[in-house]
Chain A
């Protein structure tokens, strides 16, 4: 049964391009253009542009819409995001969702990382339930630390809207643990290599 289905879908896919081609580049073709900053298939080799391989496709589309509509601070991504339709964003999202994140090594402070792990489990784990691994709500584990620093600075300084409940947690962790809390979290995520 599976074999037959596959053949039917294959036949469909072979016919489809004849009708759809002139309309939009494929998700893969669109995604290939991102590699110069985000790495081949979305695994950035750093030092600061984030890896996007393995991202949850819904998160990807949300993020890109945020850039496209200037709701989220960026240097260059907002300018680029404005070129794409919702459907094209979904095409790219599915391409990156299929890619396995290749994590590069980066320097981190092991002591801060230990503190960060505890803070993550106490304050962040409820939403970033897979430890911030690729496919979670945003890739944090193994993410480039300068990017995480920019992101947190943007949240705290109001240049990026917090997702639901996040502001309360960030305020709480800073109030309870001091100004080292956010760096500790960043070093923890950076330490997951």
Chain B
């Protein structure tokens, strides 16, 4: 035992935890090449791909994604203030290729859980031992009368970062001084709970300098929203919220904020109590799991139920659903949540391949919102699994919101940490 020092222990324990047996001890386990097919190249899919390869380099990982490059939704509200370009949010998949992930640009039509294969639009099929599905959200287009995919080209949702984000930015830039913007917020649950409210602040940030008489109205089918106290405080401080001359106004459900229909030709919204007209309208429709989840029989209601120990679908074995599409209460539908879930799933898949039971999962969510050049706020939670109820619960006494009484210096630091959070999430998922 004398020769087995601390360094050896570190090396051996690292070998065991990282390679899960099959790499470090080829004689003990017969390791056939296992195949994982990943559907969707967003936060969940990319993180799973990278961590599967990291945890067990013997696993063959193929990631199928429709677009050649990834454009992140998180931080895309900064395009609306002009603080950031879409290009700065766009990343290729070369990093994942360097980790040995096969990248296939194609559209998955459906997963066949019986045959354990994935079919694509171009007619290819991919066999899998485990399939990871992380398709993100899709819209319920029938929820607001008169609003559909075609109308969204001119009255953008901008809820997937891309051309519509730019359209919305351009419309805000070209609206008249004293113009009016309406944001139609979605009902729960939806991806990025603070997103609509950060969006209002980012638009106000631009208008404050360029169109100081502009108004931004949020019509909301909810009576409460994420980080509400901090948003109201930040809006008050920066944009006069709550005063006669407030740049930002919020109408919740009780005030008639639920929008029922739109007339795109006059840009008029029919809400529960009255009509609203605006120069620029941004409708964020109600949401459900992405198309491929429905096509592959992974959905109950709007979302995909999973065993939260592993994120394996409770409807079909060997299929794991991550991120926004999964039903992962009480985690929010956020980038950090998807990143965290992907690591739990990757470790569970590798454990299974090596004949081990999954480890105890742990999850974190952190989420920043930037309300002004020097005003950032955040929410954080660390979660543990309650196996009996299959519920992911935040650990009591930990996590929570930025304090209401934080100093200006602290709020400014949070902006800088928000940008760190963005860069590190991107790097952790695909760098």
* Chain B minimum-CB-distance residue to A82: B398
* Chief secondary structure at chain B's binding surface: helix
B340 touches A33 (CB 8 A): yes
B403 to A: closest C-beta gap in Å: 9
Q: Is the CB of B336 within 8 A of A45?
A: no
B344 at the interface (CB under 8 A from A): yes
A-B contact pairs, 19 of them (CB 8 A): A10-B12, A17-B357, A17-B359, A21-B357, A21-B359, A26-B359, A29-B347, A29-B361, A35-B339, A36-B335, A36-B428, A39-B427, A40-B431, A45-B423, A48-B416, A49-B420, A76-B414, A80-B380, A83-B395
Q: Which of A1-9, A110-118, A121-129, A168-176 contacts B (4 or more CB under 8 A)?
A: A1-9
CA distance A25 to B425 in the complex (A): 22
> Which of A5, A22, A79 gathers most chain B CB within 10 Å?
A79
Given that A48-B420, A49-B424, A83-B382 are contacting pairs, would A75 and B16 also be in contact in the complex, using a CB cutoff of 8 Å?
A: no
One digit per residue, 1 when the CB lies within 8 angstroms of any chain A CB and 0 when it does not, for chain B 17-35 equals 1100100010000000000
Is the beta-carbon distance between A45 and B424 smaller than 8 angstroms?
Answer: yes
> Is A38 in the interface zone, CB < 8 Å from B?
yes
- From A33, A44, A76, A81, B362 is in contact (CB under 8 Å) with A33
Most buried by B among A1, A29, A150: A29
- Smallest beta-carbon distance B313→chain A, Å: 21
Within 8 A of A (CB), among B1-52: 1, 3-4, 8-10, 12-14, 16-18, 21, 25, 50-51
- Which B318-363 residues have C-beta < 8 A from chain A? 335-336, 339-340, 343-344, 347, 356-357, 359-363
CA distance A83 to B397 in the complex (A): 7
The reply to whether A25 and B361 contact each other, CB–CB distance below 8 Å, is: yes
Instruction: Say yes or no: is A189 at the interface (Cβ < 8 Å to chain B).
Output: no
Task: Enumerate B369-410 residues with CB–CB distance to A below 8 Å.
Answer: 378, 380, 382, 387, 395, 397-400, 402, 406, 409-410
Q: Is A192 an interface residue (CB 8 A)?
A: no
Contacts of A138 in B (CB 8 A): none
Q: Does residue A47 face the partner (Cβ distance < 8 Å to B)?
A: yes
Q: How large is the interface on A (under 10, 10 to 19, 20 to 34, 35 or more residues)?
A: 35 or more
- What distance in Å separates the Cβ of B134 from its nearest Cβ neighbour in chain A? 16
> Is A29 within 8 A of B413, CB to CB?
no
Q: Which residues of chain B are near A14, meaning CB under 8 Å?
A: 21
CB distance from A85 to the nearest CB of B (A): 10
With a cutoff of 8 Å between Cβ atoms, the chain B residues found around residue A80 in the complex are 364, 366, 380, 382, 398-399
Q: How far is the CB of B69 from chain A (nearest CB, A)?
A: 19
Q: Is B419 an interface residue (CB 8 A)?
A: yes
Alpha-carbon separation in the docked complex, A49 to B417 (Å): 6
Q: Are B360 and A23 in contact (CB under 8 A)?
A: yes
Q: Are B14 and A98 in contact (CB under 8 A)?
A: yes
From 80 to 99 in chain A, residues with beta carbon under 8 angstroms from any chain B beta carbon are 80-84, 94, 97-98
Q: Which B78-125 residues have C-beta < 8 A from chain A?
A: none
A137 within 8 A of partner (CB): no
Q: Tell me if A28 is interfacial: C-beta within 8 Å of chain B.
A: yes
A24 within 8 A of B: yes
Residue of B nearest to A144 (CB): B420
Q: Is B421 an interface residue (CB 8 A)?
A: yes
Given contacts A75-B413, A98-B10, 17 further A-B contacts (CB under 8 A): A1-B3, A5-B3, A6-B8, A14-B21, A26-B17, A26-B359, A29-B344, A29-B359, A29-B361, A34-B364, A36-B335, A36-B340, A38-B424, A40-B428, A49-B417, A80-B380, A153-B409
